[in-house]
Structure 1
């Protein structure tokens, strides 16, 4: 009987397969072998696409006459540094005694591409049986399941085709657009930056779009003009208890839809706010902008027009995908998306968490049926032992498949990142930051088995002289999942919903803060429509509009995931249709590349991202020549096309025809441009922000 060959993407993964299969030996030969099995590995990519000069030596010299370059047949070659391992793998794949090949590269588009290129270059016979192992973690149990349920490799042909197309697309756009822009504008940039060395203008389908997002945001901030506004706050009391209310110009107000307003709750000019105070019987102003009744009067009255009491629930957040985890780690630990990916990849390889390069934030139906094993394993993790035991003692985990945390339709390659419940011995060998990232993943996972946080919200509308003030308090009735949401290393004091991690708390207006004042709560419950309350004073509070926030490394990853939209609210994010810019596997790398090329600057302490001068210059070059490269929606549509290809909705020929037409149109358009003078003016505008 012939042997079975298992080929992994990396040596570390191959060793896990070998351990599971009982294969021992010396890995120094580039493979491990037993009487039944052979286990080998790639070292990432072994094969790459050939440069244009391989097609024709004349193409080595960049020239406008030789672009657009679009070969009919693409050529591939071995990566020099890893030729030795390729030859080992090639020999094993073609060994006569190897009858079945298990493809165990990473379960995703890139992993598929890595193997298919090796298979192509090694010219592996189609007579050999090839099966695809698709796993979500590196635990022994999951590896055995993946091998047992391995499907014929041919079932992944569409995924492989989309991987080839993605590579061709990046290759053709990179070579053609980088060459045409460099030939037209590199000299202009070099001349402007006196003394600068010649550098090609590097552009790409994804990285140029991300550059555009950051530059546009920076220019919005520069062009922002602060607008002052003036709000009027009422200080009320009832039976000795004080509370505040905010004036708003709603229907019935003398100021309803007035041009004097900045939105409905503030004035553009302070004197207008003062007039309102006088109209309501508060003419005297003190230095603190506080208005009190006239001499001889202790207070004024307002009448309660409306009281609303309702309960609110805040559900536990969805599970982590890579983008969400990178965003959270950027905020908590001030680490870059690239660092987060390295940490979670290490946790994955140590069997602590499931596959990290995922876009899904939910579980699959299949894994939900076995989820008690993950929870049970966490009883061996002292930080959450009691929490895991409490969950297992209840029944919530049995019903998880019927909740929003489980949805097969929202999963493409892998479900969300969750703890496996294994590998705790290896956790001690990781860095402190890695241990904390692990705890964050664990707590997010366990939260979904806890009930929602519950609040009692009381909203009150009071009227004086047809002008209305609005008050509100939120009372936490049950902490629910917030009881376990904060990490053990957090310094937060659990006194209010805002402080205990409630993601909605930032959206609570100033007059609607969470409170634990039991007397005030009891009093607010007594107040009814028609109740007279005391309006003791009015206060004018000055504010000003804020400029847009700069991206940090985490929020930029989120914006990439959502096709250029920075959507913090997870409910809205889940409704966004279509693919984002780049993929979970590539976004961190793209950001790192932009920083390395000095197009963007990343502050390591704050993780704030700003443009470099060279980046702004490249932005202006692209904006005046191939503007569509800066369009997030268009960039996302290319990614969506690759998804359609993987699903078999469109053909490779259709995709390539669209791609080649797009490239030819823009390259030929740039050739005819003569806009260097315009660009120098744009460079002048940006330069003032970079003078030392």
Structure 2
């Protein structure tokens, strides 16, 4: 009797896609589909979970300091009661005599690997069965069939599996030990202070406590911030009846160079000093400025890198004011409807292999309302041909999956999407098509003028070629009347550095020459003030998590410290969600601004005085990096586990010996003044 192939996916909807691609027209049974040659079944997310401490020993049911730290030698697992029926179905199929080869088709990532491995472990699937791992980047038919054809032995993913088990053990051990020890030591203090009617434990975790710390620290910086006023001196010069504005700076040669009166080089701490400078400049009448230098240069702005999940969540938070969690849900739906590639990715580039076939994705977009105009131009000019030599293709920057791009397929599903999901898809399409367009080109003119020994600086920037920005005109944005380019993120606007440019002024500036004298019409004082740090919004928080607590806007710098983030692209949105759900953080749905709650700030103080390292982004990121090292085979599971047990044990024992409730009370009182 010939043996059957069994395909196991993570969700029923994905199983349907596999059955369709494989043309399995079998009978629909309860929890699987079966034909003569094959069976397709599915998990429903996690079917198996880690057992609570009381399953190890009933002594752990009651929370007590003398039972901590809890560090089992081996871990216990159990089937989740609500999905036991599906587990039994899957388990029976995996161990059936007539099943010869098992194709693991769960999500291609650490979590997907973990979901299957737990089922395999609980079902006691014999090692004699052939097991193969299907790793795909989209759910299109070709990609599913390629994934099955090229499926490697499951054992080749053992290191990834180890890192998945370790991630779960780490969250489990830190969560249980630290939550219990802090709740036992400080829970009563916090609950009494908040006048909670019912007891609630203190919830901490490797990643979520670190994120809480980032938000509370930012709030404290804003409270401690003192505004500093400063005064800039501006000149208004005329040339051919056009006004040109310049800004004074205390550069070398100025009578104020290095002066303590300055606030930075372009302003004074006091208005009197600015007035003094002006009266000094106006001593000789009429006042003229001499053109000392003119520098004209072209500036090119390249299209940004493609979307990874963090970047997409950041942009969607700005554009649509939606949470990272909602962005992930929408992108997951787009993936399941074959519109885009795998969403939980950290990469912002394509692989060399994909770049060779990329014209297929572009060709598909010729049928998309907001993509056809640009896709046709790209195909006609064959501008996709050199893409492999650009910064948008880099195999070294890809771990599991390449960037999120449109597949060019599944367009029939667009009508079934919500208006927001359609906009997210449009943003992904435009970002993708833009990389095949030339850079935007600006003409920049820098002008230095001199009044006596003091120098004034002017800067003019005008777009001469739209380049890729012509693709970036979202259908849902308001048009900018000045240049007809649809506006979106601030950095892609056609702005100049001070002087609003009209056609006449452009021509006038072109006529300026070194040594010319320009009459100065007036000097003015412009008052400014320093700004406090900005609160995180949900998108900037995801970026800060990706960059280990630093909000790095610079793309290249972000690429350099890749892989040392807090959490993963798959987990960050849920962590933020949990902090809001347990009321440690507050998320304003309209603005997406994140602030701490009083409860969240009290928990921060508790952790800061007991297990401070949990608040350290670099340390939290180093745990994540360690998991990557296990996945890459650079360190062993045992080495990682020893380090983890030592960390949990030391800090748990340390907290047991503390007596700092009085100190906490003072901090609680200070914080409470900021909450009504």
TM-score band, normalised by the shorter chain?
over 0.9
Counterparts of 1:144-159 in structure 2, within 5 Å, are 144-159=145-160
Pair 1:472 & 2:459 matched: yes
Q: Do the aligned partners of 1:359 and 1:584 also contact (CA within 8 Å) in 2?
A: yes
In 1: Cα distance, 2:102 partner to 2:169 partner: 27
Pairing partner for 1:427 from 408, 414, 422: 414
* Alpha-carbon spacing, 1:494–1:565, altered in 2? closer, same or farther (3 Å): farther
Following TM superposition, by how much is the alpha carbon of 1:509 offset from its aligned partner in structure 2, in angstroms? Answer: 7.6
In 2: Cα distance, 1:117 partner to 1:451 partner: 49
**Secondary structure of 2:6's match?**
strand
Counterparts of 1:631-650 in structure 2, within 5 Å, are 631-650=616-635
In 2: Cα distance, 1:395 partner to 1:658 partner: 53
Q: Do the aligned partners of 1:497 and 1:505 also contact (CA within 8 Å) in 2?
A: no
In 2: Cα distance, 1:281 partner to 1:497 partner: 42
1:288 maps to none
Following TM superposition, by how much is the alpha carbon of 1:305 offset from its aligned partner in structure 2, in angstroms? Answer: 1.3
Q: Deviations over 1:451-497 (max 9, x none)?
A: 00001110011111211100010121100000111211111316359
2:117 maps to 116
Q: Deviations over 1:39-83 (max 9, x none)?
A: 000000001011111111111111111111111011111000111
**Alignment RMSD, CA only?**
1.6
Q: Which runs of 5+ in 1 are unaligned?
A: 283-292
Following TM superposition, by how much is the alpha carbon of 1:519 offset from its aligned partner in structure 2, in angstroms? Answer: 2.8
Pairing partner for 1:437 from 424, 428, 433: 424
1:414 maps to 401
In 2: Cα distance, 1:494 partner to 1:95 partner: 68
* Alpha-carbon spacing, 1:27–1:255, altered in 2? closer, same or farther (3 Å): farther
In 2: Cα distance, 1:326 partner to 1:454 partner: 28
**Secondary structure of 2:471's match?**
helix
In 2: Cα distance, 1:498 partner to 1:178 partner: 53
2:345 maps to 358
1:459 maps to 446
**Secondary structure of 2:385's match?**
helix
Counterparts of 1:497-512 in structure 2, within 5 Å, are 500-501=487-488, 504=491, 510-511=497-498
2:246 maps to 245
Pairing partner for 2:537 from 532, 552, 566: 552
1:677 maps to 662
Following TM superposition, by how much is the alpha carbon of 1:568 offset from its aligned partner in structure 2, in angstroms? Answer: 2.2
Pairing partner for 2:643 from 646, 654, 658: 658
Q: Deviations over 1:368-426 (max 9, x none)?
A: 11100100000111222111111100121011111100001000010000001011111
In 2: Cα distance, 1:533 partner to 1:499 partner: 37
In 1: Cα distance, 2:460 partner to 2:489 partner: 15
Counterparts of 1:205-354 in structure 2, within 5 Å, are 205-281=206-282, 299-354=286-341
Pairing partner for 2:368 from 346, 368, 381: 381
**Secondary structure of 1:396's match?**
coil
Q: Deviations over 1:80-131 (max 9, x none)?
A: 0111111110111111111000000000000000000111111111111111
* Alpha-carbon spacing, 1:641–1:506, altered in 2? closer, same or farther (3 Å): farther
Q: Do the aligned partners of 1:562 and 1:581 also contact (CA within 8 Å) in 2?
A: yes
In 2: Cα distance, 1:30 partner to 1:494 partner: 57
Pair 1:183 & 2:170 matched: no
* Alpha-carbon spacing, 1:209–1:585, altered in 2? closer, same or farther (3 Å): same
Q: Do the aligned partners of 1:353 and 1:418 also contact (CA within 8 Å) in 2?
A: yes
* Alpha-carbon spacing, 1:496–1:246, altered in 2? closer, same or farther (3 Å): farther
**Secondary structure of 1:95's match?**
coil
**Secondary structure of 2:370's match?**
helix
In 1: Cα distance, 2:479 partner to 2:228 partner: 34
Following TM superposition, by how much is the alpha carbon of 1:526 offset from its aligned partner in structure 2, in angstroms? Answer: 2.5
TM-score scaled by length of structure 2: 0.98
1:66 maps to 67
Pairing partner for 2:563 from 563, 578, 583: 578
* Alpha-carbon spacing, 1:502–1:430, altered in 2? closer, same or farther (3 Å): closer
Following TM superposition, by how much is the alpha carbon of 1:242 offset from its aligned partner in structure 2, in angstroms? Answer: 1.1
Q: Which moved more, 1:4-13 or 1:185-194?
A: 185-194
Following TM superposition, by how much is the alpha carbon of 1:195 offset from its aligned partner in structure 2, in angstroms? Answer: 4.2
In 1: Cα distance, 2:263 partner to 2:218 partner: 24
Q: Deviations over 1:615-638 (max 9, x none)?
A: 000000000000000000100000
2:163 maps to 162
In 2: Cα distance, 1:507 partner to 1:621 partner: 48
* Alpha-carbon spacing, 1:306–1:281, altered in 2? closer, same or farther (3 Å): same
**Secondary structure of 2:214's match?**
helix
Aligned length: 675
* Alpha-carbon spacing, 1:132–1:338, altered in 2? closer, same or farther (3 Å): same
Q: Which runs of 5+ in 2 are unaligned?
A: none
**Secondary structure of 2:253's match?**
coil
Pair 1:369 & 2:356 matched: yes
Q: Deviations over 1:511-569 (max 9, x none)?
A: 3x563x33322222232221211211111011111001111111101100100011123
**Secondary structure of 1:481's match?**
helix
In 2: Cα distance, 1:382 partner to 1:663 partner: 55
1:568 maps to 553
Q: Do the aligned partners of 1:494 and 1:500 also contact (CA within 8 Å) in 2?
A: no
In 2: Cα distance, 1:194 partner to 1:315 partner: 56
Pair 1:126 & 2:111 matched: no
Q: Do the aligned partners of 1:474 and 1:514 also contact (CA within 8 Å) in 2?
A: no
1:286 maps to none
